[in-house]
Amino acid sequence: MSNTKTILVTGGAGFIGGNFVLRQVRRGDTLVVNLDALTYAGNLDSLDSIEDNPNHAFVLGSIGDRALVDYLLERYEPSAIVNFAAESHVDRSIDSPEAFIQTNLLGTFQLLEATRKYWRRLSGKARDNFRFLHVSTDEVYGTLGATGKFTEENPYRPNSPYSASKAGSDHLVRAYFHTYGLPVLTTNCSNNYGPYQFPEKLIPLMIHNGLKGKPLPVYGNGANVRDWLYVEDHCRAIERVLAAGTPGEVYNIGGNNEKTNLEVVHTLCDLLDELRPDSPYRPHRKLIQFVADRPGHDLRYAIDASKIQKDLGWEPEETFETGLQKTVQWYLSNQTWCQRVMDGSYRGERLGLEQSGAG
Ligand X SMILES: NC(=O)c1ccc[n+]([C@@H]2O[C@H](COP(=O)([O-])OP(=O)(O)OC[C@H]3O[C@@H](n4cnc5c(N)ncnc54)[C@H](O)[C@@H]3O)[C@@H](O)[C@H]2O)c1
Select which of 36, 87, 91, 138 is catalytic.
138
Q: Where are the beta strands (DSSP E) in the chain?
A: 5-10, 30-36, 56-60, 80-83, 131-137, 184-189, 191-193, 216-219, 225-230, 250-253, 258-260, 288-291
Quick one: how far is CA 176 from the chain centroid?
Answer: 23
To the query of whether residue 298 is one of the catalytic residues in this protein, the response is no
CA distance 10 to 132: 11
C-alpha distance across the termini of the chain, in Å = 40
Does residue 41 interact with ligand X by CB under 6 A? Answer: yes
Least separation in angstroms between residue 128's CB and ligand X is 27
Q: Which of 7, 8, 16, 238 binds ligand X (CB under 6 A)?
A: 16
Task: With CA atoms as reference, report the closest residue to 232 among 32, 50, 24.
Answer: 24
Least separation in angstroms between residue 86's CB and ligand X is 3
| Contacting range for ligand X; rule: CB under 6 A; set: 59-67, 153-161, 173-181, 206-214 | 59-67
| Contacting range for ligand X; rule: CB under 6 A; set: 7-15, 238-246, 288-296, 302-310 | 7-15
Give the list of residues 6+ apart from residue 198 with CB closer than 8 angstroms, or none: 14, 15, 40, 41, 43, 89, 204, 341
Interface mask toward ligand X for 161-200; x: CB under 6 A: -----x----------------------x-xx-----x--
Interface mask toward ligand X for 96-135; x: CB under 6 A: -------x---x---------------------------x
Least separation in angstroms between residue 60's CB and ligand X is 9
| Contacting range for ligand X; rule: CB under 6 A; set: 29-37, 113-121, 147-155, 215-223 | 29-37
Does residue 17 interact with ligand X by CB under 6 A? Answer: yes
CA distance 257 to 134: 23
Select which of 118, 162, 193, 301 is catalytic.
162
Quick one: how far is CA 90 from the chain centroid?
Answer: 13
147 class by beta-carbon count within 10 Å (0-12 exposed, 13-18 middle, 19+ buried): exposed
The number of residues in the chain equals 359
Footprint on this chain of ligand X (rule: CB under 6 A): 10-11, 13-17, 35-39, 41-42, 62-64, 84-88, 103, 107, 135, 137, 166, 189, 191-192, 198, 359
Q: Which residues are catalytic?
A: 138-139, 162
